[in-house]
Protein backbone atom coordinates (compact mmCIF):
# COMPACT_ATOMS: atom_id res chain seq x y z
CA UNK A 1 0.00 0.00 0.00
CA UNK A 2 2.74 2.40 1.04
CA UNK A 3 4.68 1.32 -2.04
CA UNK A 4 1.86 2.33 -4.40
CA UNK A 5 1.70 5.69 -2.67
CA UNK A 6 5.40 6.16 -3.24
CA UNK A 7 5.09 5.19 -6.90
CA UNK A 8 2.25 7.61 -7.52
CA UNK A 9 3.97 10.44 -5.64
CA UNK A 10 7.23 9.85 -7.51
CA UNK A 11 5.67 9.79 -10.95
CA UNK A 12 3.47 12.82 -10.24
CA UNK A 13 6.58 14.67 -9.10
CA UNK A 14 8.54 13.60 -12.17
CA UNK A 15 5.72 14.56 -14.52
CA UNK A 16 5.10 17.96 -12.95
CA UNK A 17 8.68 18.97 -12.29
CA UNK A 18 10.72 17.21 -14.98
CA UNK A 19 8.43 16.33 -17.87
CA UNK A 20 6.26 19.46 -17.92
CA UNK A 21 9.06 21.85 -19.00
CA UNK A 22 10.14 20.04 -22.20
CA UNK A 23 6.51 19.29 -23.01
CA UNK A 24 5.77 22.99 -22.59
CA UNK A 25 8.59 23.93 -24.99
CA UNK A 26 7.09 21.76 -27.72
CA UNK A 27 3.56 22.93 -27.10
CA UNK A 28 4.57 26.62 -27.23
CA UNK A 29 6.67 26.10 -30.35
CA UNK A 30 3.83 24.31 -32.16
CA UNK A 31 1.15 26.72 -30.97
CA UNK A 32 0.57 28.04 -34.50
CA UNK A 33 1.35 24.72 -36.22
CA UNK A 34 4.49 23.08 -37.44
CA UNK A 35 4.73 25.26 -40.54
CA UNK A 36 4.75 28.48 -38.56
CA UNK A 37 7.37 27.06 -36.23
CA UNK A 38 9.66 25.98 -39.05
CA UNK A 39 9.20 29.30 -40.81
CA UNK A 40 10.72 31.12 -37.83
CA UNK A 41 13.93 29.14 -38.28
CA UNK A 42 14.58 30.65 -41.72
CA UNK A 43 15.10 34.07 -40.18
CA UNK A 44 18.67 35.17 -41.11
CA UNK A 45 19.56 36.17 -37.53
CA UNK A 46 18.36 32.78 -36.32
CA UNK A 47 20.39 31.00 -39.00
CA UNK A 48 23.48 32.92 -38.10
CA UNK A 49 22.94 32.09 -34.41
CA UNK A 50 22.73 28.38 -35.26
CA UNK A 51 25.93 28.51 -37.31
CA UNK A 52 27.80 30.48 -34.67
CA UNK A 53 26.77 28.02 -31.95
CA UNK A 54 27.94 25.09 -34.08
CA UNK A 55 31.27 26.79 -34.84
CA UNK A 56 31.90 27.63 -31.18
CA UNK A 57 30.99 24.08 -30.17
CA UNK A 58 33.29 22.44 -32.70
CA UNK A 59 36.25 24.58 -31.65
CA UNK A 60 35.78 24.18 -27.91
CA UNK A 61 35.10 20.45 -28.11
CA UNK A 62 38.20 19.92 -30.26
CA UNK A 63 40.52 21.96 -28.04
CA UNK A 64 39.25 20.65 -24.74
CA UNK A 65 39.25 17.05 -25.93
CA UNK A 66 42.87 17.11 -27.10
CA UNK A 67 44.15 18.88 -24.01
CA UNK A 68 41.77 16.97 -21.74
CA UNK A 69 43.13 13.62 -22.93
CA UNK A 70 46.70 14.78 -22.32
CA UNK A 71 45.79 16.07 -18.88
CA UNK A 72 44.01 12.84 -17.98
CA UNK A 73 47.11 10.92 -19.09
CA UNK A 74 49.27 13.12 -16.88
CA UNK A 75 47.02 12.86 -13.85
CA UNK A 76 46.35 9.14 -14.20
CA UNK A 77 49.84 7.92 -14.95
CA UNK A 78 52.09 10.11 -12.85
CA UNK A 79 52.34 11.21 -9.23
CA UNK A 80 54.06 14.57 -8.76
CA UNK A 81 54.07 17.51 -6.37
CA UNK A 82 51.07 19.73 -6.97
CA UNK A 83 49.05 17.02 -8.70
CA UNK A 84 46.15 17.49 -6.30
CA UNK A 85 46.23 21.25 -6.80
CA UNK A 86 46.18 20.80 -10.57
CA UNK A 87 43.17 18.53 -10.24
CA UNK A 88 41.32 21.11 -8.13
CA UNK A 89 42.26 23.81 -10.64
CA UNK A 90 40.88 21.83 -13.57
CA UNK A 91 37.60 21.20 -11.76
CA UNK A 92 37.30 24.83 -10.66
CA UNK A 93 35.12 26.04 -13.58
CA UNK A 94 32.37 23.66 -12.42
CA UNK A 95 31.89 25.63 -9.23
CA UNK A 96 32.09 29.11 -10.73
CA UNK A 97 29.01 31.07 -11.70
CA UNK A 98 28.67 31.25 -15.50
CA UNK A 99 28.46 35.02 -15.27
CA UNK A 100 31.78 35.15 -13.46
CA UNK A 101 33.23 32.81 -16.09
CA UNK A 102 32.36 35.42 -18.69
CA UNK A 103 33.39 38.39 -16.59
CA UNK A 104 36.99 37.22 -16.17
CA UNK A 105 37.49 37.39 -19.95
CA UNK A 106 36.20 40.94 -20.02
CA UNK A 107 38.65 41.81 -17.26
CA UNK A 108 41.41 40.49 -19.55
CA UNK A 109 40.28 41.63 -22.97
CA UNK A 110 37.58 44.26 -22.40
CA UNK A 111 38.07 47.96 -23.12
CA UNK A 112 39.16 48.43 -19.50
CA UNK A 113 40.92 45.04 -19.32
CA UNK A 114 44.58 44.19 -18.95
CA UNK A 115 45.26 43.40 -22.62
CA UNK A 116 42.17 44.89 -24.23
CA UNK A 117 43.43 48.38 -25.12
CA UNK A 118 46.72 47.06 -26.54
CA UNK A 119 44.96 44.47 -28.70
CA UNK A 120 42.47 47.11 -29.77
CA UNK A 121 45.36 49.17 -31.14
CA UNK A 122 46.44 46.16 -33.21
CA UNK A 123 42.83 45.84 -34.36
CA UNK A 124 42.33 42.47 -32.64
CA UNK A 125 38.85 42.13 -31.16
CA UNK A 126 38.24 39.52 -28.51
CA UNK A 127 35.65 40.89 -26.09
CA UNK A 128 32.20 41.38 -27.63
CA UNK A 129 33.37 39.25 -30.56
CA UNK A 130 33.52 35.60 -31.53
CA UNK A 131 36.95 34.87 -29.95
CA UNK A 132 35.59 36.01 -26.57
CA UNK A 133 32.63 33.69 -26.95
CA UNK A 134 34.95 30.81 -27.74
CA UNK A 135 37.22 31.59 -24.77
CA UNK A 136 34.27 31.77 -22.37
CA UNK A 137 32.93 28.46 -23.70
CA UNK A 138 36.38 26.85 -23.42
CA UNK A 139 36.54 27.96 -19.80
CA UNK A 140 33.17 26.50 -18.78
CA UNK A 141 33.61 23.22 -20.65
CA UNK A 142 37.21 22.59 -19.68
CA UNK A 143 36.70 20.02 -16.89
CA UNK A 144 34.33 17.52 -18.54
CA UNK A 145 36.72 15.34 -20.55
CA UNK A 146 39.21 15.03 -17.69
CA UNK A 147 36.49 14.36 -15.16
CA UNK A 148 34.96 11.49 -17.10
CA UNK A 149 38.26 10.01 -18.30
CA UNK A 150 40.30 10.14 -15.11
CA UNK A 151 38.28 7.79 -12.86
CA UNK A 152 38.06 5.17 -15.62
CA UNK A 153 41.78 5.40 -16.40
CA UNK A 154 42.68 5.10 -12.73
CA UNK A 155 40.38 2.12 -12.35
CA UNK A 156 42.00 0.32 -15.25
CA UNK A 157 45.49 0.73 -13.88
CA UNK A 158 48.62 1.14 -15.98
CA UNK A 159 49.48 -2.50 -16.63
CA UNK A 160 48.50 -2.41 -20.29
CA UNK A 161 50.47 0.81 -20.86
CA UNK A 162 53.55 -0.60 -19.16
CA UNK A 163 53.30 -3.77 -21.21
CA UNK A 164 53.06 -1.67 -24.39
CA UNK A 165 56.13 0.35 -23.41
CA UNK A 166 58.07 -2.84 -22.73
CA UNK A 167 57.04 -4.03 -26.18
CA UNK A 168 58.68 -0.90 -27.57
CA UNK A 169 55.74 1.46 -28.19
CA UNK A 170 56.29 5.20 -27.99
CA UNK A 171 54.02 7.71 -26.27
CA UNK A 172 51.66 8.31 -29.20
CA UNK A 173 51.42 4.62 -29.98
CA UNK A 174 50.57 3.79 -26.37
CA UNK A 175 47.99 6.56 -26.23
CA UNK A 176 46.40 5.72 -29.58
CA UNK A 177 46.53 1.93 -29.57
CA UNK A 178 46.31 1.03 -25.87
CA UNK A 179 44.91 3.74 -23.64
CA UNK A 180 42.23 5.41 -25.74
CA UNK A 181 40.63 2.18 -27.04
CA UNK A 182 40.30 1.08 -23.40
CA UNK A 183 38.46 4.22 -22.36
CA UNK A 184 36.37 4.77 -25.50
CA UNK A 185 33.10 4.90 -23.58
CA UNK A 186 34.32 7.46 -21.05
CA UNK A 187 35.94 9.57 -23.77
CA UNK A 188 32.72 9.60 -25.78
CA UNK A 189 30.82 10.53 -22.66
CA UNK A 190 33.20 13.39 -21.89
CA UNK A 191 33.10 14.70 -25.46
CA UNK A 192 29.30 14.60 -25.52
CA UNK A 193 29.01 16.38 -22.18
CA UNK A 194 31.39 19.04 -23.49
CA UNK A 195 29.25 19.33 -26.60
CA UNK A 196 26.01 19.67 -24.66
CA UNK A 197 27.45 22.31 -22.38
CA UNK A 198 29.02 24.24 -25.29
CA UNK A 199 25.75 24.30 -27.19
CA UNK A 200 23.76 25.58 -24.27
CA UNK A 201 26.14 27.92 -22.44
CA UNK A 202 24.30 31.12 -21.72
CA UNK A 203 25.59 33.13 -18.76
CA UNK A 204 29.27 33.23 -19.66
CA UNK A 205 28.64 33.85 -23.34
CA UNK A 206 26.03 36.48 -22.58
CA UNK A 207 28.58 38.58 -20.68
CA UNK A 208 31.27 38.56 -23.40
CA UNK A 209 29.14 38.52 -26.51
CA UNK A 210 27.89 42.06 -26.91
CA UNK A 211 24.61 40.69 -28.28
CA UNK A 212 24.95 41.83 -31.88
CA UNK A 213 22.19 39.99 -33.78
CA UNK A 214 23.53 38.14 -36.77
CA UNK A 215 27.11 38.51 -35.55
CA UNK A 216 27.75 37.57 -31.94
CA UNK A 217 24.47 35.97 -30.98
CA UNK A 218 24.59 32.26 -30.23
CA UNK A 219 21.40 30.18 -30.06
CA UNK A 220 20.80 30.68 -26.32
CA UNK A 221 21.31 34.44 -26.68
CA UNK A 222 19.02 34.55 -29.69
CA UNK A 223 16.38 32.70 -27.66
CA UNK A 224 16.62 35.34 -24.95
CA UNK A 225 16.34 38.08 -27.53
CA UNK A 226 13.27 36.55 -29.17
CA UNK A 227 11.62 35.81 -25.82
CA UNK A 228 12.13 39.35 -24.54
CA UNK A 229 10.76 40.63 -27.87
CA UNK A 230 7.56 38.60 -27.28
CA UNK A 231 8.23 36.41 -30.33
CA UNK A 232 7.07 33.41 -28.38
CA UNK A 233 6.75 30.89 -31.22
CA UNK A 234 10.17 31.76 -32.63
CA UNK A 235 11.75 31.68 -29.16
CA UNK A 236 10.33 28.30 -28.27
CA UNK A 237 11.06 26.83 -31.67
CA UNK A 238 14.70 27.81 -31.31
CA UNK A 239 14.57 26.53 -27.71
CA UNK A 240 13.17 23.20 -28.90
CA UNK A 241 15.91 22.88 -31.50
CA UNK A 242 18.62 23.72 -28.97
CA UNK A 243 17.07 21.44 -26.34
CA UNK A 244 16.90 18.53 -28.75
CA UNK A 245 20.55 19.07 -29.74
CA UNK A 246 21.81 19.29 -26.17
CA UNK A 247 19.67 16.48 -24.79
CA UNK A 248 20.48 14.36 -27.81
CA UNK A 249 24.16 14.74 -27.00
CA UNK A 250 23.56 13.77 -23.38
CA UNK A 251 21.39 10.78 -24.31
CA UNK A 252 23.87 9.60 -26.95
CA UNK A 253 26.25 8.80 -24.12
CA UNK A 254 24.35 5.57 -23.55
CA UNK A 255 24.58 4.68 -27.25
CA UNK A 256 27.39 2.11 -26.73
CA UNK A 257 25.18 0.37 -24.15
CA UNK A 258 22.25 0.22 -26.56
CA UNK A 259 24.44 -1.13 -29.33
CA UNK A 260 25.84 -3.77 -27.01
CA UNK A 261 22.34 -4.73 -25.90
CA UNK A 262 21.12 -4.96 -29.50
CA UNK A 263 24.06 -7.18 -30.39
CA UNK A 264 23.35 -9.39 -27.41
CA UNK A 265 19.75 -9.80 -28.50
CA UNK A 266 20.85 -10.82 -31.99
CA UNK A 267 23.42 -13.28 -30.70
Partner 1 sequence: MKQFFLALLRSNRALPGYRLSLITTLLWAGLLIVLPLSTLLVRPWQDGVAAMLTALRDGRMFAALWTSFSCAATAAACNLPFGLMLAWALVRGQLPGRHVANALIDLPLALPTAVSGITLATLYSPNGWLGAPLSRLGILVSYNRLGIVVALMFVGLPFMVRAIEPVLRDLPHELEEAAQLLGAKPWQVFTRVIVAPLLPALVTGFGLAFARGIGEYGSVIFIAGNQPFRSEIAPLLIVVRLQEFDYAGATAIALILLVASLLVLLLVGMMRKRLALWSERA
The residue among 33 and 248 lying less far from partner 1, judged by its C-beta, is 248
The residue among 13 and 51 lying less far from partner 1, judged by its C-beta, is 13
- Shortest Å, Cβ 219 to partner 1: 8
- Shortest Å, Cβ 11 to partner 1: 7
- Shortest Å, Cβ 208 to partner 1: 10
- Shortest Å, Cβ 203 to partner 1: 4
Helices 184-200/143-156 angle, 10° precision:
170
**What does the CA dihedral 104, 107, 108, 111 come to, rounded to 10 degrees?**
140
User: What letters, b where the CB count within 10 A reaches 16 and e where it falls short, cover 24-58?
Assistant: ebbebbbeeeeeebeebeebebbebbbebbeebbe
**How many Å apart are CA 204 and CA 134, to the nearest integer?**
10
The residue among 92 and 255 lying less far from partner 1, judged by its C-beta, is 92
The residue among 31 and 184 lying less far from partner 1, judged by its C-beta, is 31
**How many Å apart are CA 198 and CA 214, to the nearest integer?**
19
Amino acid sequence: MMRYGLWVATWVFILVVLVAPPAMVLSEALKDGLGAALATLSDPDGQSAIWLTLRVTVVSVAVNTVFGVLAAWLLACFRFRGRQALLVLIELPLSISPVVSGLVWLLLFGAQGWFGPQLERWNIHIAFAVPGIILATLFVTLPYVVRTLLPVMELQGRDAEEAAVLAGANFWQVLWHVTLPGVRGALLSGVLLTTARSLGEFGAVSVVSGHIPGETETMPLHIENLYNGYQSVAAFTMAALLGVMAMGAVLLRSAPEWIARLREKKA
